[in-house]
Amino acid sequence: MSDDKVTVMIPRELYTKVEEKIAGTSFTSVEEYLVLLLENEFPEEAEYSEEEEALIRERLRKLGYIE
Amino acid sequence: MERLTAPDRVEKAAEEASELTVVQVSEELRLDLENVAFGLYSPLAGPLNQGDYLTVLAKGRLACDLPWTIPILLDLTEEEASGFSVGDRLALAQDGERFAVLDVQEKYGWDRKTHCERVYRTLDPAHPGVAKTHEMRPALVGGCIEVFNPSPGKYPRYRLKPRETRFLFREKGWRTVAGFQTRNAPHIGHEYVQKTALAFVDGLFINPLIGRKKPGDFTDEVILETYEAAFRHYFLRNSATMVTLEMEMRYAGPREAIHHAIVRKNYGCSHFIVGRDHAGVGSYYGPFEAQEIFEDYPDLGVTPIFFRNFFHCNRCGGPQNDKICPHGPEDHVNYSGTKMRSLLLEGKRPDETMMRPEVVDVILRHKEPFNP
């Protein structure tokens, strides 16, 4: 296993339920499904440079979206 | 991901584009391609290649298996398509104005009948999407675009890109945001749905669709002005915001509901409201098919919020829905858009239990509030 992955234990009963849920879908593994759920729960925040942040803030202020 | 030319390169990109073979596109296609460039159609990088197109038709997914249901196609005449080769770079123009470059990856043919069957589930030429498909040209071109000259949009004041809306949500402290698609002036039923969703999320993102719609729909101006009035009088100041989405309606029902959800996810919404007969027209789709299709997309990355029938209940004395109201149909008055439109066309005011008086005032101020 690569260093950037860790093992998490979940109840077997829950694992079986997920397996049943993803049967016939595009998910190829329980892991893939759970990773997606967690990614949705913790989405990547958009990153902005200081310059871009200032430009967007100014535009939103001019348009009246923020004060 | 954005596919816009960096500001310091725009002049050079325009100069380079002036020396390329140019192909003309319609206003609607330009908007679609600009939506690709803004990141609204992420993960698309341009008009679909054949592999993606075929899996979108067959499975409602790109070849890499990511959800995508509405084909974004660049259609040309055979003669136009014979004027360049795969690997060429083209300039794209609308009404003579060059706005983007396209790196051509593929040229291919397509079958309109299969397209209509898969996307619209009908071949009826009366369906607006089918009618539009039959107007399209026979050669398709796939590739990657870069837009150096985006149009200002019909309402620049309300046109934000996903990087801007995501920033806006962060500034407002909204961790969860419900997107609401609309092509209507708000009636009380809409407000009820929006506020019910708002009870569970931090912010409401009203996202009117600006672009080609069917006759009898409210004009874009009326939609924007009526929402402004509704915000002013009936919403908490920091709870809702409005941004326009310049994109034509396809009326593809369930498939389009998924498309709308993907676009709202790209804006930064965590939730998307799906009502009865979302993106439907006539009786081509069942009233809840646009909700049921979400079962096939657990990997969409945006949570749908479903609403079934909602109505005014005379006994409850307010808006209700069929999950919570114990009274019978004799006590229920539907929020009928058709009925409200007929009244408004005659210059009459719908009852205040149906539409806010401030919203009615805005509509009646307009001489032509509906698309001809």
Residue B40 token pair: 């609204």
Residue A26 pLDDT more than 70?
no
Q: pLDDT tens digits, residue range A39-59?
A: 767 777 778 999 999 999 999
Q: What is the mean pLDDT of chain B?
A: 94
Interatomic CA distance for residues B76 and B166, integer angstroms: 35
A17–chain B Cβ distance below 8 A for any pair: no
- Parallel, antiparallel, or unpaired for β B310-313 and B332-334? antiparallel
Q: Is B98 a catalytic residue?
A: no
**Across the interface, which of A25, A39, A56 has its CB nearest the CB of B163?**
A56
- The pLDDT confidence band at residue A1, using thresholds 50, 70 and 90, is low
What number of C-beta contacts closer than 8 Å exist between A and B?
48
Whether the Cβ atoms of residue B41 and residue B66 lie closer than 8 Å to each other: no
Q: Which fold has domain B7-147?
A: Sulfate adenylyltransferase (3.10.400)
In chain A, the residue whose alpha carbon lies closest to the alpha carbon of B266 is A46
B157, B167, B270 ranked by CB distance to A56: nearest: B167
Tokens at B306, concatenated:
């479903």
Residue A27: band (very low, low, confident or very high) from pLDDT cuts 50, 70, 90:
low
Catalytic residue of the set B166, B183, B276, B349: B183
The count of other CB atoms within 10 Å of the CB of residue B121 is 18
pLDDT digits (tens, 9 = 90+) for B332-344: 999 988 889 999 9
Contact residues, A window 26-55, toward B, CB-based 8 Å cutoff: 26-27, 33, 36, 39-40, 43, 45-46, 48, 52-53
Q: Determine the pLDDT at residue A46.
A: 79
Write down the pLDDT at residue A25.
61
| Domains of chain B by residue range | 7-147, 156-365
B171/A contact by beta carbon, under 8 A:
yes
Is position B183 annotated as part of the catalytic site?
A: yes
Inform me whether the C-beta atom of residue B6 falls under 8 Å from chain A C-beta atoms: no
Tell me which amino acid residue A34 is.
L
Q: Please tell me the predicted confidence (pLDDT) of residue B44.
A: 92
Provide the whole-model pTM.
0.91
- Domain map of chain A by residue range? 12-63
CB B31 within 8 A of CB B248: yes
Q: For chain B, which ranges sit under pLDDT 70?
A: none
Q: Is B293:B258 a contact under the CB 8 Å cutoff?
A: yes
Write out pLDDT tens, residues B174-227: 999 999 999 899 999 999 999 999 999 999 999 999 887 778 889 999 999 999
- Within 8 A of B163 by CB-CB distance, chain A residues are 46, 48, 52, 56
Query: Is B156-365 assigned to CATH 3.40.50.620?
Result: yes
- Smallest Cα distance from B299 to chain A, Å: 7
Q: Does A19 touch chain B (CB under 8 A)?
A: no
